[in-house]
Amino acid sequence: ENAPVLRRYAETRYGAKSWSCQRRVIARIEASTQGLDIRFVVTSFAQGSAEWVYDSLYCARGQAENLVKLHKAQLASDRTSCRSPLANQVRLVLHTAAYWLLLTLRDRIPTTHELAAAEFATLRLRLLKVAGRVIETASRVRLAFAAACPHAVLFRGLARSFHPAGP
C-alpha cells in the first residue's frame, strides 16, 4: 500500500539522573495507516533544525552502519582466519576493493531500476555472475548475452557509463 505518511519533528531538553546536564532530544513522529512510529535522538549538537539533525546527521550515521554491515556480511570481510597478520590485511584490502567496486556499480544504476537499492549479494548474482560470451578483437571487447538475460540492457548501459568519453 502506498498510503500517505504524515511526518513531523519536535524537540525538547531532557536530563537523566545519571547525566551531568540536560541534552537536546529530537523526536521524529510518523503517522500512517500502519499506526504511529516515534523515534528519539539524544544529541549534544546545538545547531540545525530538528528535521536537519534527524535526516542529515542521524540517518546518515545509520546508513554508514548499514554499509559497514554490507562490507562484513555480504563480502565476508570479517573472515580474517589466516595465521599471518599481513595475509589478513591483504585479504581485508581485497574485500574493500570489492566493496568499492560493488558500491560504484550500484551508484551507476538508474534510480528507477529495481536493482538501484539492491544489496551486494543481489548485484553479484544478477550482474556479475552472468553467463555470456566474450569476443575480443584488436580494437574492442564485445559481450554476447543469452536472449533471455533479464538485465542485458542494464549491463550494457552500465558498461557505457564506465567508458570514458572520447575526444
What does the pLDDT look like over 6-32, one tens digit per residue?
Answer: 999 999 999 999 989 999 999 999 998
In a domain, 95, yes or no: yes
Contact 39, 27 (CB under 8 A): yes
Q: What is the pLDDT of residue 37?
A: 93
Beta strands 23-32 and 6-14 are antiparallel
83 and 51, same domain (yes or no): no
56 and 132, same domain (yes or no): no
Residue 133 backbone phi and psi in degrees, to 5: -110, 130
Sequence-separated contacts (24+) of 85-88 with Cβ below 8 Å: none
98 and 156, same domain (yes or no): yes
- Tally of structural domains, the chain: 2
Higher pLDDT: 55 or 68? It is 55
pTM for this structure?
0.59
CA distance 97 to 88: 14
Q: What is the CA radius of gyration of the chain?
A: 23
Lookup: cell for 118: 539492491
Burial class of residue 145 in the structure, from the number of CB atoms within 10 Å of its CB (0-12 exposed, 13-18 middle, 19+ buried): middle
Which of 62, 88, 115 is the last residue in one of the domains? 62
Nearest 5°: the CA angle 164, 108, 158 is 60
For residue 109, what are the domain limits?
76-166
In a domain, 149, yes or no: yes
Which of 9, 36, 62 is the last residue in one of the domains? 62
Name 100's Cβ contacts closer than 8 Å, sequence gap at least 6: none
82 and 160, same domain (yes or no): yes
Using a pLDDT cut of 90, give the percent of the chain over it: 32
112 and 39, same domain (yes or no): no
Which of 17, 37, 62 is the last residue in one of the domains? 62
In a domain, 84, yes or no: yes
Question: In this structure, what is the dihedral angle of CA atoms 48, 52, 57, 60, given to the nearest 10 degrees?
Answer: -160
